[in-house]
């Protein structure tokens, strides 16, 4: 019997050794193909890139996976406790694998059941980082082996850090910091016990515990986690009971742009980042981008531009509803499906429920919950006849028709835009998205920092940026470039030019430019020519000094890369952008120094290292270790001087005259030291105004995207200047009224406004003019262009492009 027992024992031992050898061989085989766990040391997950305004306000976030990486030291203990309680309460004591749980999973699998979980946090790190989601025994073994190795190579805190920054929480949120923002719009430090417990319940299955679709299930799972936290001693029973009594309180963070007035600016920054670093850097690199945008200035610019576009548009009548829907049943659902203007929050979509002689009864577009579901409650209101007065002139088949009653304009089912009246609960005014568009830029002339950008009425309606992308004729707003070239090359503000008829001959084609009002004024000074925006004087001036010089200055100022040297171009008939024009005027405003327009101040990588800084000025002594009565350090401006500072002052002084008594006189009502120039293109297709104080340059245009006339008499002074005025009134409020600085060495001499000659004391019609050293008023009366026939100075035939320019335009009519 003993021999038999020994026999079976020997067989058993042999089988056990064979099994152990088999297991060892299997593990060895599996271990050979394991991925390198050392990659965890170089872990750089996709991280959210964030764009901030100049004051630090968050403007936008871009990410394929919404994640903000946090070191373990920055994660609060209650948050760590929630995840340990939910996922792996023995995390700090086991060797990487829960032997009991693993054994249970293996037995179930061998018995024919499904492959179960039971993974520790270390195993989840191994799976998420190094393995696939395949549910098999081999993957489970690989996971266990890797877990042992990871535990030997890394500290528990490092493993937990990797886990908490990698896991998926739903709604494209990755990592606990991203989840806190996505679900509660909070940092992890602000999370309550209940909120931390809910987030800890999500990794098991975010879709199963969706706070909107499965709220009861989500609360049940959260409360179980809270119970585990109490059982493990992380919170007291009283704290646990209080946390369980709280609602989920999910308040999702909005995505995309956060500064509703800055969408065009943000998109421009996005394009620049992609062009500079590529898409992966933007959507995965975790960049921190500090921009130049000033939120207060941006809001002022947006309001001024929108009001100006609306004022012009409403005078042209009402073009009809957005669309029509059926209101015989539940109108909330079809109305909720109509796309509104997210970046014009003052407006709401509404549907006409009834129309009569006194006005409209309307239903407002229902609000949406965070889940996207439409709120059931319906809100109704009214629009009186007076609050839709502009619509009494409505456009039918391209013709304006006068209506007697609101019922003649709108009928039940028509979807419209409305805006709530101030101080009213349910009274609204009718609104219409303007057909006319425009672009505006506000810039610091000393640095080129773009403080505000308006690319159109609404980014939701049109993403085309008219401030940077629209190529438009600048019209007479280009004339200061021509006059700057003249003043830099021997002419003075008192030089006299003939304002009279001129004909330019080009082969068999002739061009006879005219002043906007069709009149001529005879001899007049350069100052008068720019104040009154006289085309004939500008053409004669350009002809006298040569278009090659005008081209040189236009390109030096950055208005154009390549400008054709044809006389019509002197009147602004070449196309450019608002950004380029504002940059050119900044040169005149800052004393003649070249500037590079910038939207980004600095960029930092995910580790906080500055990888780009716009300000390249040097500063010797700024980093001195201590103060030893040395002089205060100064920034060294290395900008190129592209215009004589005295010339810059002269053209600025002349443009002050535009505001004080010229085509931009409406702006003079502000009582500020402002210089500027109006611009109107052929057939009144575009209206411009660009102006500046010593520290702020603002430029804008108004026009249709498909150019067509704005209407007879629609000039830069009548349309664009009032928008500029409205902007400056608010933007400059509370700031000192700084005068333009006269460069040292300039001579201020009283001259006769008409003749440009020195004036005697007490003479009427005098003006103080600035002259460079060695120059002054003419000793004798001399008129540039007197008797000139305006013929082509070169004597040869111009190219077809020149002929086309001559035929197409006088450009810059006013």
According to DSSP H, which parts of 351-509 are helical?
479-487
For residues 365 and 307, the model is more confident at 307
Q: What would you measure as the largest C-alpha separation in the chain, in angstroms?
A: 144
Mean pLDDT of 243-263: 79
Q: Which residues contact 162 (CB under 8 A, 6 or more apart)?
A: 40, 43, 125, 129
**pLDDT given at position 492:** 96
For residues 42 and 160, the model is more confident at 160
For residues 645 and 133, the model is more confident at 645
pLDDT, one tens digit per residue, over 528-545 is: 999 999 999 999 999 999
pLDDT, one tens digit per residue, over 659-679 is: 999 999 999 999 999 999 999
Q: Is the pLDDT of residue 791 over 70?
A: no
Local confidence band at 801 (pLDDT 50, 70, 90 cut-offs):
very low
Local confidence band at 314 (pLDDT 50, 70, 90 cut-offs):
very high
**pLDDT given at position 4:** 60
For residues 452 and 440, is the Cβ–Cβ distance under 8 A? yes
Q: Is the pLDDT of residue 259 over 90?
A: no
Work out the mean pLDDT of the chain and round it to a whole number: 87
Round to whole Å and give the CA distance between 597 and 603. Answer: 16
**pLDDT given at position 793:** 37
Q: Is the pLDDT of residue 257 over 90?
A: no
Mean pLDDT of 51-78: 93
pLDDT, one tens digit per residue, over 76-113 is: 999 999 999 999 999 998 887 877 666 665 666 566 55
Round to whole Å and give the CA distance between 159 and 182. Answer: 24
Question: Lowest-confidence range among 143-152, 215-224, 351-360, 628-637?
Answer: 143-152
Sign of the alpha-carbon dihedral angle for 562, 568, 571, 576? negative
Round to whole Å and give the CA distance between 464 and 454. Answer: 11
Q: Is the pLDDT of residue 806 over 50?
A: no
For residues 253 and 199, the model is more confident at 199
Antiparallel, parallel or unpaired: β 437-443 and 504-506: unpaired
pTM to 2 decimal places:
0.86
185: left (phi over 0), alpha (psi -120 to 50) or beta: left
Mean pLDDT of 577-593: 98
Q: Is the pLDDT of residue 30 over 70?
A: no
According to DSSP H, which parts of 344-383 are helical?
none
Q: Is the pLDDT of residue 800 over 50?
A: no
Sign of the alpha-carbon dihedral angle for 611, 615, 616, 621? negative
pLDDT, one tens digit per residue, over 461-516 is: 999 999 999 999 999 999 999 999 999 999 999 999 999 999 988 778 888 999 99
Round to whole Å and give the CA distance between 720 and 294. Answer: 22
SS3 assignment, position 606:
coil
pLDDT, one tens digit per residue, over 545-577 is: 999 999 999 999 999 999 999 999 999 999 999
Q: Which residues contact 35 (CB under 8 A, 6 or more apart)?
A: 130, 131, 146
Catalytic (active-site) positions: 87, 476
**pLDDT given at position 252:** 83
Give the distance, in angstroms, between the CA of residue 232 and the centroid of all CA atoms in the same chain: 49
Mean pLDDT of 787-802: 40
Q: Is the pLDDT of residue 19 over 80?
A: no
Q: Which residues is 428 bridged to in the sheet? A: 383, 420
Give the HSE-up count for residue 61: Cα atoms under 13 Å, Cβ half-sphere. 21
């Amino acid at each position: 019997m003993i021999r038999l027992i020994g026999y079976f024992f020997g067989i058993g031992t042999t089988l056990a050794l064979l099994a152990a050898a088999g297991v060892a061989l299997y593990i060895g085989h599996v271990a050979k193909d394991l991925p390198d766990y050392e990659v965890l040391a170089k872990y750089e997950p996709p991280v959210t890139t964030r764009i901030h305004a100049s004051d630090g306000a968050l403007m936008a976030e871009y990410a394929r996976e919404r994640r903000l990486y946090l070191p373990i030291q920055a994660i609060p203990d209650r948050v760590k406790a929630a995840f340990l309680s939910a996922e792996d309460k023995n995390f700090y004591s086991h060797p990487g694998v829960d032997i009991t749980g693993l054994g249970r999973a293996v037995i179930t699998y061998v018995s024919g059941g499904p492959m179960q979980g039971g993974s520790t946090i270390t195993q989840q790190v191994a799976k998420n980082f190094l393995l696939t989601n395949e549910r098999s025994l081999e993957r489970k073994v690989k996971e266990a082996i890797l877990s042992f190795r990871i535990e030997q190579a890394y500290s528990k805190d490092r493993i937990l850090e990797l886990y908490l920054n990698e896991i998926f929480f739903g709604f494209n949120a990755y990592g606990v910091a991203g989840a806190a923002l996505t679900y509660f719009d909070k940092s992890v430090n602000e999370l309550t016990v209940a909120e931390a417990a809910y987030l800890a319940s999500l990794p098991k299955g975010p879709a199963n515990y969706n706070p909107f679709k499965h709220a009861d299930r989500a609360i049940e799972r959260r409360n179980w986690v809270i119970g585990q936290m109490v059982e493990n001693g992380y919170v007291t029973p009283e704290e646990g009971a209080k946390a369980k009594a709280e609602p989920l309180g999910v308040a999702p963070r909005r995505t995309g742009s956060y500064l509703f007035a800055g969408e065009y600016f943000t998109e421009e920054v996005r394009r620049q980042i992609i062009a500079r670093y590529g898409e992966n850097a933007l959507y995965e690199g975790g960049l921190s981008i500090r921009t130049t945008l000033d939120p207060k200035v941006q809001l002022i610019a947006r309001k001024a531009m929108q009001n100006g576009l609306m004022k012009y548009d409403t005078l042209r009548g009402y073009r009809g509803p957005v669309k029509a829907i059926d209101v015989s049943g539940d109108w909330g659902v079809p109305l909720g499906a109509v796309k509104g203007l997210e970046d014009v929050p003052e407006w709401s979509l509404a549907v006409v429920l009834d129309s009569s002689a006194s006005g409209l009864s309307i239903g407002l577009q229902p609000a949406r919950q965070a889940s996207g579901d439409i709120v059931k409650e319906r809100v109704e209101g009214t629009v009186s006849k007076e609050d839709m007065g502009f619509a009494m002139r409505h456009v039918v088949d391209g013709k304006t028709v006068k209506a007697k009653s609101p019922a003649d304009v709108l009928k039940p089912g028509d979807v419209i835009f409305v805006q709530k009246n101030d101080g009213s609960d349910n009274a609204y005014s009718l609104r219409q998205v303007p057909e006319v568009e425009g672009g505006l830029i506000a810039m610091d002339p000393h640095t080129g920092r773009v403080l505000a950008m308006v690319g159109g009425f609404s980014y939701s309606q049109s993403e085309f940026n008219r401030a940077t992308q629209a190529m438009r004729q600048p019209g007479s707003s280009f004339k200061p470039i021509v006059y700057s070239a003249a003043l830099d090359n021997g002419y003075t503000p008192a030089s006299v030019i003939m304002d009279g008829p001129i004909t330019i001959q080009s082969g068999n084609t002739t061009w006879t430019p005219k002043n906007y009002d069709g009149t001529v004024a005879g001899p007049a000074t350069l100052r008068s020519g720019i104040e009154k925006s006289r085309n004939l004087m500008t053409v004669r001036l350009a002809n006298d000094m040569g278009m090659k010089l005008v081209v040189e200055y236009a390109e030096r100022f950055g208005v154009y890369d390549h400008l054709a040297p044809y006389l019509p171009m002197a009147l602004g008939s070449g196309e450019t952008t608002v950004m380029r024009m504002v940059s050119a005027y900044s040169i005149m405003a800052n004393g003649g120094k070249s500037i590079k327009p910038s939207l980004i101040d600095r960029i930092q990588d995910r580790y906080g290292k500055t990888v780009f800084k716009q300000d390249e000025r040097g500063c010797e002594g700024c980093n001195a270790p201590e103060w030893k009565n040395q002089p205060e350090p100064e920034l060294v401006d290395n900008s190129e001087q592209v215009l004589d500072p005295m010339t810059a002052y002269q053209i600025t002084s002349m443009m002050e005259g535009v505001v004080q008594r010229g085509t931009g006189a409406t702006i003079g009502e502000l009582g500020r030291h402002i210089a500027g120039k109006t611009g109107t293109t052929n057939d009144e297709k575009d209206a411009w105004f660009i102006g500046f104080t010593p520290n702020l340059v603002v430029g804008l245009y108004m026009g249709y995207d498909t150019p067509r006339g704005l209407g007879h008499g629609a000039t830069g002074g009548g349309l664009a200047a009032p928008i500029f005025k409205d902007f400056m009134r608010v933007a400059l409020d509370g700031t000192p009224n700084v005068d333009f600085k006269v460069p040292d060495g300039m001579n201020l001499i009283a001259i006769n406004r008409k003749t440009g000659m020195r004036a005697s004391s007490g003479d009427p019609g005098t003006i103080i003019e600035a002259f460079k050293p060695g120059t002054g008023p003419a000793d004798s009366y001399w008129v540039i262009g007197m008797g000139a026939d305006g013929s082509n100075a070169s004597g040869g035939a111009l190219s077809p492009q020149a002929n086309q320019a001559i035929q197409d335009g006088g450009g810059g009519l006013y």
